Structure 1
Amino acid sequence: MRVAQKLAELASSRKGKRKHKRSSSSSSEPMPSRVVQRLFDTCMEVFADCGPGVIPSPENIDRLRSVLDIMKPGDVGLSPKMPYFKTIESRGAPPAITYLHLYECPKFSIGIFCLPTSAVIPLHNHPGMTVFSKLLFGSMHIKSYDWIDATEGTNEFIKPPHFEDRNLRLAKVKADTVFTAPCETSILYPAAGGNMHCFTAVTACAVLDVLGPPYNDSEKRHCTYYNDFPCTTVLGGDIASVPGEGEQYAWLEEREKKPDDLSVVGAKYKGPRIVER
């Protein structure tokens, strides 16, 4: 009798567990993903001992890049057919960019920018940060700059006409090209690799950004936007090709506020969730 009673109890327990599993799977909360979770876990390790201006070791850079390189839109619940990527006519206003927030802590942040065709993220900086940008799909033009040290022969350059009294600073072009997915992850560093960059969507596209550390106004790591102007030399007034042959330069001017034509809206991330261990 006791055996029969025990078997009945076990059957009832298993039935209850099956019901619990079904109710959990039908929940609206996104399920975990090995790909997204691996990205999060790797970021936790890579940025553990980093801070403003502190670059992860080359080995850790390669670890995180290898995780991002294989990521696809479906890994974060995205598809080019989603509303984020449709261009909506709005009386000449620029296409709105959607930002999906995945995670942020004092060490790093993970987010996705969703850009319709022709959308632009204007030229801006990443003070003290190491930034990984993974183009998930589409084509994007990236133009990036690094500051030129005042000791690098900058006396050979002249400011644009009528700009002599403006606060311009010389920068070197790091990249000026179109990237099309699938492609390798782009990495920029606090003082190299194109710390200031501009994104222009050639087609609808999505880019996943990992920032280490994230912006923080209280710690003076705020986002600064810039205007860029062609750079000329004293010799002939052509686009600069000195001090290195084939190199290009520009004068950058800090903008007083966020560009009026930049429209970024936040939306809830609905892809696979991250589990903090």
Structure 2
Amino acid sequence: MGMEAGLVEQGREKVGFANKVGYVHKIIKKKKSSRRIKRTLPLVPKALQELFVSCRDIFKGPSTVPLPQDVKELCHIIDNMKPEDVGLSRDLQFFKPGNTIKGNPRVTYTTIYTCDNFSFCLFFLPATGVIPLHNHPGMTVFSKLLLGTMHIKSYDWVDHDTDNLDNSVPPSRLRLAKLKADDIFTAPCNTSVLYPTTGGNIHAFTAVTPCAVLDVFGPPYSKEDGRDCSYYKDHPYTAFKNGDILAAEEEKEQYGWLEEIEMPENSKMDGIEYMGPQIIDTC
């Protein structure tokens, strides 16, 4: 990617390196009385550890959705999280205004923690970087923009029979969806919650400036368990003859037809090892 970024060590020591976003632990090897002196790792940030403990208690596995009071608790924790809680700094070159990536602006991701019931991931989008329209089947997702400015577009499914559509796209691949968000967001902003069937479960990200996004998935993606990612292309509601499903003209702008497509080229991401503050797993 040609990305130059890094994460912050305790005491705000910044380390920059190309093509990776990670947290660097320096190990000092020094002969002194025939002993090796190793630099101690930083303490886990309180907010990150609280997030882990709450998720461990709240997420109960597939086919379950957190209770409203649990959603409120997680939102409170994530709303108050700062980039530094996952080792990021606003001062990194990657997040500086005007920083651009030449060529294909690929997205980078790293997994902070994962288990059968939930996972934490960070996504790094360079300016103009895109995560195409995709879904989160059977999952509840808490998403927070930690750094940058981003355009977010999201939909929820609307149950409707598409057999009578007069169009060139196979009806089985078209489905009516209601627009939930189509706006630009700038960090810091509140956590968004995507439920299995509501809240904008199908969404797309386009970075206006370099961005960092924290996503909490419960449960995580799993192809083996039927939670694989599908991709979509959205069409205006008026693009196809539809028997006047919606009577009011103003309503038509709030809906669209989603066509399932093959995995887009711009959906490919670069995965890197997470080297930030480590969660203390007390399970």
Normalising by structure 1, what TM-score? Answer: 0.79
- Describe the superposition over 1:83-115 as per-residue Cα deviations: whole angstroms up to 9, x where unpaired: 65553212xx2x011112100111000011011
In the alignment, which residue of structure 1 is the partner of 2:154?
144
SS in 2 for 1:193: coil
Alignment match of 1:169 (pick from 156, 171, 175): 175
Cα distance change of structure 1 residues 126 and 253 upon mapping to structure 2, 3 Å threshold = same
Q: Distance in 2 between matches of 1:272 and 1:98?
A: 18
Query: 1-side partners of 2:264 and 2:227: how far apart?
Result: 18
Task: Give me the whole-angstrom Cα distance separating, in 1, the residues matched to 2:188 and 2:123.
Answer: 16
CA contact (8 A) 1:84 1:114 kept: no
CA distance in 2, matches of 1:69, 1:246: 33
**Over aligned residues, Cα RMSD in angstroms?**
2.8
Structure 1 position 89 matched with structure 2 position 102: yes
* Distance change in 2, residues 1:245/1:170 (3 Å): closer
Give the match for residue 15 of structure 1.
none
Q: Shift in Å at residue 51 of structure 1?
A: 2.8
Higher helix share: 1
User: 1:254-277, CA deviations, whole angstroms, 9 ceiling, x for partnerless residues?
Assistant: 123x21123311122222110011
Task: Report if the CA contact (8 A) 1:31-1:272 is conserved.
Answer: yes
Residue deviations 1:43-100, cap 9 Å, x none? 11111xx33332110000000000000111111111244465553212xx2x011112
Q: Over residues 204-248 of structure 1, what are the superposed CA-to-partner deviations in whole Å (9 max), with x where a residue is unaligned? A: 1111000000011111110111111111175999xx774984751
- Contact kept? 2:101, 2:127, Cα under 8 Å: no
Given candidates 102, 111, 134, the residue that maps to 1:101 is: 111
The equivalent residue for 1:32 is 44
Tell whether the 8 Å contact from 2:156 to 2:178 is kept in structure 1 after alignment: yes
Write the letter of the residue equivalent to 2:100: T
Instruction: Report the Cα distance in structure 1 between the residues aligned to 2:253 and 2:139, rounded to whole angstroms.
Output: 25
Match of 2:185 among 170, 174, 179: 179
Q: Distance in 2 between the 1:104 and 1:217 partners?
A: 15
Distance 1:81 1:265, change over 3 A: farther
In structure 1, what residue type is equivalent to 2:109? Y
Aligned partners of 2:133 and 2:233 also within 8 Å = yes
User: Contact 2:106–2:266 at 8 Å: present in 1 too?
Assistant: no
Larger radius of gyration between Structure 1 and Structure 2? 1
Kept in 1: contact 2:109–2:272 (CA 8 A): yes
Report what 2:127 is aligned to: 117
For the 8 Å contact 2:231–2:260, the answer to whether it is kept is yes
3-state SS of paired residue (1:203): coil
Contact 1:84 1:98 (C-alpha < 8 Å) held by counterparts: no
* Percent of aligned pairs sharing the same letter: 50
Q: CA deviation at 1:163?
A: 2.8
Task: Please point out which of 205, 212, 218 is paired with 1:199.
Answer: 205
Is the 8 Å Cα contact of residues 165 and 242 (structure 2) preserved in structure 1?
no
For 1:16, the equivalent position in structure 2 comes to none
User: What does 1:56-71 correspond to in 2, within 5 Å?
Assistant: 56-71=66-81
